[in-house]
Amino acid sequence: MLKHLIKNMSTGGFALHGYNEGSLHQRLQLLKASDTFIECLNHISTLNNEQIVIADYGSSEGYNSMVFLRQTLSKFRETSSSPILVFHNDLPDNNWVKTFKTILEFEDSYIKLPNVYFSAIGRSFYDQILPNNSVHIGLSSAALHWLSQPISAPDNCVPSCSNNPEFKALVSKVAHNDLVTLLRQRHKELVSSGRLVIQFLTESISTAASTTIINATTENSFNKGYITEEEKKNITIPMYGRTIEEVQNAINEISDLYRAILFTQVGESRIPGIDNLPDEEKANYVNGLKRLAAASLKGVIQKAVNRSDEERNAIYELFIKEMSDFVDTADVNHWPQYHLLVLEKISS
């Protein structure tokens, strides 16, 4: 069963090209964690460091991190001139060119603040990616729902929405082990009393616009005969929205390593004000969302459809057309709720 369900053991996340333009909602939710992050910076500055190292796990193309860090670091700069080094992390095939340009070229980038530096690491966050005792604050926003491995639900392309009890038990275990692994890796990297600030998409991920779009597009493409039953089963996006209880179980398992400072719900499930945006701005948002979905579906189709390149590309084009048609009729303003978790390292 396990062998059948887990297609291979490489990382399950996808680098999402076009993410900067299609992620307004993630940005708005992340900005709600600003005060918490500033409080963590203030806490860190009491630890007598020569410099402050921030690691941003799962940054994608960087625009959301850049806006968030501009807001929080400029506030912090009012009271501290400590050198700050930011590491952005994502998978090796992230659009790193865009990340570098985003951080360097935007007028209001955090990099324009005095004594702030940055670098990037293309490596899975399920590995240790920085030396022991080197990170003061770890940040991760809207990324930890990506499992470490591609995993297909027998009845649904998003594992956390499956109604198959055997599969659900299996994937819940994978999600638990992933979170514990990730927290153990971060524990090694953090300095003593360093903090992790994590924003999760929780269980309501099943109602996420992106998830609905993927399910509907897959179903429509199958009904129109573009993909076979087998290919439909192979279409998988290994996202897992953990329940509050599942997150709590992982925190309990590593309670010898971290003190939980905060675990709370943030944000609302609709993008504030989007319904009232002028037509042009709304169209920009919807086009961004389509680009994001199209980009993330490319790798998914490539893995799921075992045919010639020509046929596979043709299927991808049809799939994208289905997705675009669906988005035009869908409620794209709906998004899952988030939870904010702050952990402090209590041992070295």
Q: How far is the CB of 67 from ligand SAM (least distance, A)?
A: 9
The size of the interface with ligand SAM (CB under 6 A), counted in residues, is 24
Which of 5, 18, 41, 58 is close enough to bind ligand SAM by CB under 6 A? 58
- In the bound state with ligand SAM, the residue whose beta carbon lies nearer, of 211 and 221, is 211
142 binds ligand SAM (CB under 6 A): yes
Closest contact distance (angstroms) between CB of 136 and ligand SAM is: 19
Work out whether 162 is an interface residue with ligand SAM (CB under 6 A): no
Minimum CB separation of residue 29 from ligand SAM in Å reads 8
| Shortest separation between residue 224's beta carbon and ligand SAM, angstroms | 29
For residues 61 and 322, which CB has a smaller minimum distance to ligand SAM in the complex? Answer: 61
- Ranges of beta strands (E only) in 58-189 are 84-90, 116-122, 135-141
Choice between 32 and 282, CB closer to ligand SAM: 32
State the CB neighbour count (10 A cutoff) for residue 344: 18
Q: Footprint of ligand SAM on residues 20-39 (CB under 6 A)?
A: 23, 26, 30
Q: Smallest gap, in angstroms, from Cβ of residue 127 to ligand SAM? A: 8
Tell me the CA distances in angstroms from 29 to 26, 40, 134, 254, one per residue in order. Answer: 5, 18, 28, 27
183: contact with ligand SAM by CB under 6 A: no
Q: Going edge to edge, which strands form the sheet with 52-57?
A: 116-122, 84-90, 52-57, 135-141, 190-201, 338-345, 258-266
Residues 6+ apart with CB under 8 A from 239: 145, 146, 147, 158, 159, 160, 201, 205, 211
Two tokens at 301?
Answer: 């189709």
Only one of the segments 32-40, 83-91, 108-116, 336-344 lies at the binding site for ligand SAM (rule: CB under 6 A); that segment is 83-91
Least Cα distance to 299 among 86, 154, 81, 95 occurs for 95
Q: Does 64 bind ligand SAM (CB under 6 A)?
A: yes
Q: Which stretch binds ligand SAM (CB under 6 A): 52-60, 109-117, 268-276, 312-320?
A: 52-60
**Is residue 11 involved in binding ligand SAM (CB under 6 A)?**
yes
Distance CA 23, CA 20 (A): 6
Residue carrying the six token digits 């998004």 = 335
**329 burial level (CB within 10 Å; 0-12, 13-18, 19+):** exposed
Amino acid at 215: N
Per CB under 6 A, contacts with ligand SAM among 92-131 are: 94, 124-126
In SS3 terms, 231-283 reads as: HHHHCCCCECCECHHHHHHHHHHCCCCEEEEEEEEECCCECCCHHHCCHHHHH
- Relative to beta strand 338-345, strand 258-266 is antiparallel
- Interaction between residue 146 and ligand SAM (CB under 6 A): yes
Which DSSP letter does residue 79 get?
Answer: T
Q: Closest CB to ligand SAM among 6 and 91?
A: 91
Residue 337 binding ligand SAM, by CB under 6 A? no
**Residue placing its CB nearer to ligand SAM in the complex, 125 or 335:** 125
Q: Which residue is nearest to ligand SAM (CB)?
A: 13
Task: Supply the minimum distance, in Å, between the C-beta of residue 204 and ligand SAM.
Answer: 15
Q: Exposed e or buried b for every residue in 284-296, given b needs 16+ CB within 10 A?
A: ebbebbbbbbbbb
The interface region with ligand SAM, picked from 31-39, 137-145, 184-192, 265-273 by CB under 6 A, is: 137-145
User: For residues 31, 32, 36 and 39, what is the CA-based torsion angle, rounded to 10 degrees?
Assistant: 60
CB of 91 to ligand SAM, least distance (A): 5
Give the containing element (helix H, strand E) for 14: none
- Specify the residue, 94 or 217, whose C-beta has the smaller distance to ligand SAM: 94
State the CB neighbour count (10 A cutoff) for residue 148: 22
Kindly list the residues in this chain that would bind ligand SAM in the complex (CB under 6 A).
11, 13-16, 23, 26, 30, 58-60, 64-65, 89-91, 94, 124-126, 141-143, 146
